[in-house]
Amino acid sequence: MKYWLGIGLVFVMQVIVTYVTAIIPTNGSFLGLGNMLLGVMGIPITALGNWALIKSKPEKSTAQHVIRSFFIGLLLPAAQVGIVILWKVTGI
C-alpha cells in the first residue's frame, strides 16, 4: 500500500498537472512543449526517487511515506505552474 499511495498518487497528480499545462494555448511559444518535456523527464525521475525513499526506510508508516512522497512530488508541478505564471506575466 505504501508504494501505491506513495508513487501512484503522486504520479496521477503530476500527469494531470502536466497535461493541463501542456494544453494551455501559448501562441507559438515553446512553453507547452517545455512543460511537456519537463513532465516526460520529471515524472519517472520522481517515481524512481519516491520508490527509493520508500524502499530505504521500510519501518516508517504509510502516512509518513505518502506525505513525504507527496511533498517531493509537488516540486515538478510547482515548477510547471511557475513557468506558466512567468509566461503569463512577461508574455515571452
**pTM, entire model:** 0.81
What's the rounded mean pLDDT across residues 48-73? 91
Listed residue (74, 29, 69, 37) closest to 52, CA to CA? 69
Per DSSP, the three-state class of 76 is helix
Q: What is the mean predicted confidence (pLDDT) over 35-44?
A: 90
Res. 57: pLDDT tops 80: yes
Residue 13 has pLDDT above 80, yes or no: yes
Given this model, what pLDDT does residue 44 score? 93
Domain assignments of the chain as residue spans, ordered by start: 2-90
**How far, in whole angstroms, is CA 71 from its chain's centroid?**
10
Is the model's pLDDT at 55 over the cut of 70? yes
3-class SS of residue 59:
coil
User: Side-chain half-sphere of 68: how many Cα atoms within 13 Å?
Assistant: 15
pLDDT of residue 58 exceeding 70:
yes
Cell representation of residue 15:
500527469
